[in-house]
A = this chain, B = another copy of it.
Amino acid sequence: MINLGLANKVRWQECLRTFGVVSLLHLAVASQAQEKRLVDYVDPMIGTAKMGHTYPGPTVPFGSVQLSPDTDTIPYAMNGKYNGDVYKYCAGYQYSDPTIVGFSHTHFSGTGHSDLGDFLLMPTSGALKLNPGTADQPGSGYRSAFSHDNETAAANYYKVKLDAHNITAELTTSARVGHHKYTFSQAGESHIVFDLMHGIYNYDDKNVWTVARVLDDHTIVGYRQTHGWARTRVVHFAMKFSKPFKNYGTKDFEKQQVYKGFWRKFDQTDNFPDIAGTKIRMHFDFDVAANEEIQVKLAISPVSMDNALANMEAEVPHWDFDRTKREGQDLWEKELGRIQAKLPTKEDYVNFYTAMYHAALMPTEYMDVNGQYRGLDHQVHQADGFVNYSSFSLWDTFRAFHPYMNLVNPSRNADMVASMMAHYDQSTLKMLPIWSHYGNDNWCMSGYHSVSVIADAILKGVYKGDANKALDACIATANYRRYEGIGEYIDLGYIPDEKNGTSVSNTLEYAYDDWCIAQLAKHLNRESDYQTFAKRAENWRNMFDPSIGFMRPKDAQGKFREQFDVLETHGQGFIEGNTWNYSLYVPHNPQGLMELIGGKKKLSTYLDSLFTMHLPDKFFEHTEDITREGIIGNYVHGNEPAHHVVYLYQLVGEGWKSQEWIRKILKDQYHNGADGLGGNDDCGQMSAWYLFSSLGFYPVAPGSTDYWLGSPLVESASVRLENGKTFEVEAINQSDKNVYVQEVRLNGQPLKGYILKHADIVNGGKLQFKMGAKPNKKA
Contacts and interface: CB of A to CB of B under 8 A. Distances in A.
Interface string A471-499: 00000000000111000000000000000
B215 A443 contact: no
A194 interface: no
Interface in A36-54: none
A213 B259 contact: no
Given A273-B429, A306-B379, A209 B228 contact: no
A228 B378 CA distance: 22
A742 to B, nearest CB: 49
A617 interface: no
A265 B78 contact: no
A449 to B, nearest CB: 14
Interface string A732-760: 00000000000000000000000000000
A377 B258 contact: no
Interface string A420-436: 00000001110000000
Given A78-B258, A259-B229, A272 B442 contact: no
Contacts of A484: 265-266
A443 B263 contact: yes
A605 interface: no
Nearest to A431: B274
- Interface hub of A78, A227, A263, A484 (most chain B Cβ within 10 A): A227
A260 interface: yes
A259 B428 contact: no
A232 interface: yes
Q: How large is the interface on A (under 10, 10 to 19, 20 to 34, 35 or more residues)?
A: 35 or more
Contact of A79 (B232, B258, B306): B258
Contacts of A76: 258
Contact of A209 (B209, B255, B429, B442): B209
Nearest to A271: B482
A727 interface: no
A265 B443 contact: yes
A286 interface: no
Interface string A552-586: 00000000000000000000000000000000000
A4 interface: no
A267 interface: yes
B377 A261 contact: no
A273 B427 CA distance: 9
Contacts of A306: 379
A5 interface: no
A259 B231 contact: yes
Contact of A256 (B78, B255, B271, B273): B78
B482 A80 contact: no
Contact of A377 (B213, B262, B377): B213
Nearest to A81: B258
A305 interface: yes
A116 to B, nearest CB: 15
Most chain B Cβ neighbours within 10 Å, of A76, A232, A258, A379: A258
A675 to B, nearest CB: 29
A380 interface: yes
Contacts of A483: 265-266
A232 B78 contact: no
A227 B209 contact: yes
A428 B214 contact: yes
A79 B377 contact: no
B304 A379 contact: yes
Nearest to A275: B428
Interface string A144-173: 000000000000000000000000000000
A263 B305 contact: no
A263 B211 contact: no
Contact of A211 (B258, B304, B378, B429): B378
Contacts of A213: 377-378, 428
Contact of A263 (B232, B378, B442): B442
A779 interface: no
A287 B369 CA distance: 51
Contacts of A611: none
A203 interface: yes
Nearest to A234: B209
Contact of A229 (B79, B205, B262, B378): B262
A221 to B, nearest CB: 8
Nearest to A506: B265
Given A80-B260, A273-B428, A305-B377, A208 B205 contact: no
A229 B231 CA distance: 26
A276 interface: yes
A225 interface: yes
Nearest to A272: B482
A203 B377 contact: no
A267 B482 contact: yes
A632 B189 CA distance: 61
Contacts of A305: 377-379
Contact of A228 (B259, B261, B276): B259
Contacts of A255: 79
Contacts of A232: 209, 211, 276
A223 interface: yes
Interface in A200-234: 203, 205-206, 208-209, 211, 213-215, 223, 225, 227-229, 231-232
A257 interface: yes
B223 A378 contact: yes
A444 interface: yes
A725 B217 CA distance: 52
In this complex, the member of A205, A223, A263, A379 whose beta carbon has the largest number of chain B beta carbons within 10 angstroms is A379
Contacts of A444: 262
Contacts of A211: 232, 378
Interface in A361-392: 377-380
Interface string A233-276: 00000000000000000000001111111110111000111101
Interface in A177-214: 203, 205-206, 208-209, 211, 213-214
A240 B20 CA distance: 52
A231 B254 CA distance: 14
A276 B231 CA distance: 7
21 contacts: A78-B258, A79-B255, A79-B258, A80-B260, A208-B208, A208-B209, A213-B377, A214-B428, A227-B276, A228-B259, A229-B259, A231-B259, A231-B263, A259-B442, A262-B444, A265-B443, A265-B484, A266-B443, A266-B483, A304-B379, A305-B379
Given A208-B208, A232-B276, 8 more contacts: A79-B257, A80-B260, A209-B209, A213-B378, A214-B428, A231-B263, A274-B429, A304-B380
